[in-house]
Structure 1
């Protein structure tokens, strides 16, 4: 009798246990990206100023640039995403046109020349792969990037790791990138001409010919120009991030970044004029004494933080601060604030302000102040001391249910923004950007 009771109990346990396993609900894992998304981004940028580095720190900085970029994010499965970013940028520049200012009607640093260097196209292609763990607390990514323009080519690789914990209230991350770049050594045309030996062929038919030019000022123009050694530039960066939800309405983050650059850090076609060398001119354009000379290494450090405060359903505050310094003597401060204001469920306004200041590089020399005996010098005002202010305004439209369609894609959002940037030098710029996000049905 005891054996029968024991058999019945064991049978009942096995049956109940088997039934429990069969009835146990399957764990649902939400896909990282539900469907393919396509972003189209475009912008129009214009700038002006009177301190062009191509003409030795004095000349027109007028430039316009139009860009178009497609970003396609595709879910490969529940955990993995492949993203392709392809863009093209077309610009015209009065400054770069004066690499050869003598191919137009009149040579003047404040007028654009008509040569090939007055415009260019820039191409970029980046592919990235992202994998998330089952619990979505670990995220790995890697990328490969290629970009090219007339005198420049770059290949980059990178990767990152992000860890979320504390019920996803805390996040830490690390990322790294390596870029291998190469220049085409395009020098100011008069330095090319001055270094052509008798009997040698010139680089191209449009090269300036000193022998046929009328030189005023110091007619004995004999620059002691030494071509740059090497065409490669390598950049290595590593960064660390920390983000924390401090309150149900407040989130803060910190970032620390290091960048090391080696190789050709001078721009080959940027002129420098010495104070201890007599000036030579052709028409109204001063002939270069040399090109900028900068060290072949640079180390940069940046530390910053963000604080985002959700005030209510209408207004959010987004603040940012960063301190930067490098071993070229530059230190800078950046502070910004953006205040998204939700007008309706679909429309949000984005007023913003950004403040920036920096000290000048150890090697910065305004036009006509460098000495021929100096080891390093540049008249690029991007490396000068200045203060800048930027005001911005944007509007965002969000169609949560993507009712508007283009073939199989629904329009999810539209973002339009305008920024006006002004330095306390003569430089100013403005940019208009537009972004359109589509999702596949």
Structure 2
């Protein structure tokens, strides 16, 4: 239609201008005008063919922060008995940069700083007060900082129906270092109503194993009681303290993940998606500083702290599979129902179910509130033993209650502010949205936690 319209306009204008010319001049001029019009029409067609909407119009900057706290009475560091008190503050910047019409580079950098009464008891004897599993030690292990940086690159095809991604990440903490890399492919079909994706990632971790203080003198079969650590301490209970302890010889852990996704617009107001995730882990899957107490070994104490009989021992391989689905129902312009379910299974014997529902309610053009509820339950791992339930003859054992049988409820509420015109500015950044969320989580054990998160999205002017 654009070509025909251009030709008609040109010919009509030409006829008006050429009415008083002689016949041959008219013919020559008309030919010239026709060729000119055809050239313009071809340029119009070329411009239509080459025009593409940019994947990302301008640089976007997200700042995310959270404050997390937890408590409980089943600390794995002290063998399933002791305080689980922990607080964590996290800050993350995510910068998405359009490299051209098709390519986007995303940099994700975050730092997390925590203080933990539980991990402080890796060495419970370095504080000023008597050692106690329910009291935090003031030593160096009571706090730490985790840092991560991830770079991701995505390329979209001209028709925007194919997206290829790749990423590289590095993480570090006081007792481990991790490098990860991976990529993915997304295809859209059926006028973008159907989406299929696949992604794969590899994470290569190295532990810097830190062991409970009282076990270190017994490394390599040494006579630990002759070590200086015990020279100024009095052992009560079983004075002939003789733990089972050997250092891990392999401190590497590799994880391989493969994920499949399928999303479909089912109707004007309904959208659904399915996901399947496979994870294979190999290497050191035990946590070196988590104690275990045996039921068939007499208890030994220094002050109020029970000395470890051993450290957690778990298999050096694990295979996980998770399958889930989402269903989003747009009830009307005000209310949306978002539902989610996932089933999880691994070869350590854990089976779990997760169900979640969120109800965003649009209060105005700028404000949305969204209450949510999440239910979770799982069976215990084959190797889980509670406090003083493991036997010294067992091959594998852990008193980490994250691997125990339990159910949990989580209630949450969030509020978001959106301003598509970015009327508020900080330097050259326009504030596009603010999201604040609060969640309260409770297990049917003594464990509970709460977290408040905030996210700020900026766009570059």
Under a length normalisation based on structure 2, what TM-score does the superposition of the two structures give?
0.90
Give the paired residue count. Answer: 430
- Trace 1:102-117 onto structure 2 (pairs within 5 A): 102-104=125-127, 105-117=129-141
Bigger radius of gyration: 2
Task: State the secondary structure of the residue aligned to 1:363.
Answer: coil
1:354 and 1:389 in contact (8 A); partners too: yes
- In structure 1, C-alpha distance between the alignment counterparts of 2:124 and 2:370, rounded to whole Å: 42
- In structure 1, C-alpha distance between the alignment counterparts of 2:405 and 2:169, rounded to whole Å: 33
Residue 34 (structure 1) aligned with residue 54 (structure 2) = no
Q: 1:86 aligns with which of 105, 109, 113?
A: 109
Residue number in structure 1 paired with 2:42: 21
- In structure 1, C-alpha distance between the alignment counterparts of 2:218 and 2:346, rounded to whole Å: 36
Q: 1:64 aligns with which of 87, 92, 98?
A: 87
Residue number in structure 2 paired with 1:158: 182
1:23 shift after superposition = 4.2
Task: State the secondary structure of the residue aligned to 1:20.
Answer: helix
1:24 shift after superposition = 3.1
Residue number in structure 1 paired with 2:12: none
- Trace 1:418-429 onto structure 2 (pairs within 5 A): 418-429=438-449
Under a length normalisation based on structure 1, what TM-score does the superposition of the two structures give?
0.94
- Trace 1:237-276 onto structure 2 (pairs within 5 A): 237-276=257-296
- In structure 2, C-alpha distance between the alignment counterparts of 1:22 and 1:369, rounded to whole Å: 80
Q: 1:224 aligns with which of 244, 255, 261?
A: 244
1:48 and 1:429 in contact (8 A); partners too: yes
- In structure 2, C-alpha distance between the alignment counterparts of 1:22 and 1:300, rounded to whole Å: 56
1:13 shift after superposition = 8.3
1:229 shift after superposition = 2.2
1:21 shift after superposition = 1.2
Residue number in structure 2 paired with 1:190: 214
Residue number in structure 2 paired with 1:205: none
Residue number in structure 1 paired with 2:96: 73
Unaligned segments of structure 1, at least 5 residues: 1-6, 203-207
Task: State the secondary structure of the residue aligned to 1:367.
Answer: coil
1:212 shift after superposition = 2.1
More helix by share: 2
1:223 shift after superposition = 1.2
Task: State the secondary structure of the residue aligned to 2:231.
Answer: helix
Query: Could you report, residue by residue, the CA deviation over 1:336-388 in whole angstroms, capped at 9, with x for unpaired residues?
Result: 00000000000000100000000000000001110101000000000000000
Query: Could you report, residue by residue, the CA deviation over 1:243-270 in whole angstroms, capped at 9, with x for unpaired residues?
Result: 0000011000000010000000000000
1:346 and 1:399 in contact (8 A); partners too: yes
Residue number in structure 2 paired with 1:290: 310
Query: Could you report, residue by residue, the CA deviation over 1:163-211 in whole angstroms, capped at 9, with x for unpaired residues?
Result: 0010000000000000000111100000002338589x98xxxxx8123
- In structure 2, C-alpha distance between the alignment counterparts of 1:180 and 1:24, rounded to whole Å: 51
Unaligned segments of structure 2, at least 5 residues: 1-27
Residue number in structure 2 paired with 1:98: 121
Residue 176 (structure 1) aligned with residue 200 (structure 2) = yes
Residue number in structure 2 paired with 1:305: 325
- In structure 1, C-alpha distance between the alignment counterparts of 2:91 and 2:30, rounded to whole Å: 73
- In structure 1, C-alpha distance between the alignment counterparts of 2:29 and 2:344, rounded to whole Å: 76
Q: Bigger CA drift: 386-395 or 11-20?
A: 11-20
Q: 1:376 aligns with which of 391, 396, 400?
A: 396
- In structure 2, C-alpha distance between the alignment counterparts of 1:277 and 1:22, rounded to whole Å: 87
Q: 1:53 aligns with which of 76, 84, 92?
A: 76
Task: State the secondary structure of the residue aligned to 1:195.
Answer: helix
Q: 1:328 aligns with which of 323, 330, 348?
A: 348
2:219 and 2:247 in contact (8 A); partners too: no
Residue 13 to residue 412, structure 1, CA distance change in 2 (3 Å): closer
